[in-house]
Structure 1
Amino acid sequence: MAEQNPTRPQRKMSTSGESVYKVLGLEKGASAEEIKKAYRKLALKYHPDKNPDNPEAAEKFKEINNANSILNDENKRKIYDEYGSMGLYVSEQFGEESVKYYFLMSKWWFKSLVLCCTVFTCCCCCCCCCFCCGKCKPPDDEENYQYVDPEDLEAQIRADQDGGTTVIIIQPSSNLGPESPEDQSKPIPLPMPPPEPRSPSSADPPGEDNPKDN
């Protein structure tokens, strides 16, 4: 791996979109034919085979190839003409569709708008904390919990299984086994008490024939 020259100034990314054209000796907006002619001329001049002991020529040759690859690509050239080398960097990192949104959010008026909304609404859209105002926080499970009486739990389960159409006429009992919905809808016979014995006052009056004597 080649070591970087510490005396060489580091290039900074720009948004002007002109330095690549200057590498080929062209003006911004040059035609495709002009770019091709300029590239061939400079590539032949700074080719490493013609400059074997010249590291500056080799570095210049790399810059020429890089400029040609950008200007010959329609999408890259469009991004470079509008956003410069910074636009190409954003395109490589986040995709071509994200370039315009990145520069939109980088504008001063957009940052001012976000700052004003944060100050006046006291909400950062959950960016700086987790539901600081509580408006966007989802409800907890404990808040949705409803208490159910254990005595009515079995009856409620049966009602849910029947779809709420069967009327429960008796309360569930621990002594009884599980019953089907048909058994629940049948009436339950109630035992009658035994008849009371007749008292002497209720005997047949004299003079009347008793059918049993006949």
Structure 2
Amino acid sequence: RQSNMMDIFLKRFSKGITPKKRRVKEEDLLPYLIRPNSIINEIDSIRVNETFNQISMAVGYPRKVPAGFLDKIIKLQGNFDLTLYIEPFSIDVMRIILHKELEKQTADMQADTLKGRINPSLESQIKDTRHALDDLTLGKEKMFNVSLYLNAKARDHHQLRLLSNKIESELNAINIIPKKPAFRMHEALQSMLPLCNDKLKITRNIQTSALSAFFPFTTSFLDLKESGVMMG
């Protein structure tokens, strides 16, 4: 009798639950388990559970970079993430852009010459643009859209500011210009996740030879005592 009662209970409990519904529930289980309890989005930071995050994005790069120039950033002490997006860029489109840029720079140089002014910076830009155009035309180089983001993480605002300022100071030291995406911290945090989804889209066109200097990381002095370093 007890067995019959149990069978009736199980039939009623499982009635209307199709395999498709069970599959949907299983698929929703992992996002439910790993989702944060709270997200507080502020102007220049975002808090996830008990951790404050402040993302800095690279908006300017040096004219020339040595191999492994990001090693100084990797060797910094602190809890932070570094995300690098690399996306191929159309060579034909880039040639058109460089042609227009070269025409503009040449016109500016002629205007300065007529006024009797010397502009060494503009001369260097014309030389670099012409060199880049020749390399693309001859197939020596390819172009990529590159985005670089760094996320400082801490348990309070004071420690967050200290770490973020330290990171930006080191970026300035290697002639990378950092900037915080005000009012876009939620998009910035999504861009930091290893999902290949760049929400910020703060890109810079970089040639193959310059891009190769971004990686691999050549340092052998990483401190792995606290929480380790993960690259991938």
Greater strand content: 2
- Larger Rg computed on CA atoms: 1
* Short-chain TM bin: under 0.3
Structure with higher RCO (Cα < 8 A, 6+ apart): 2
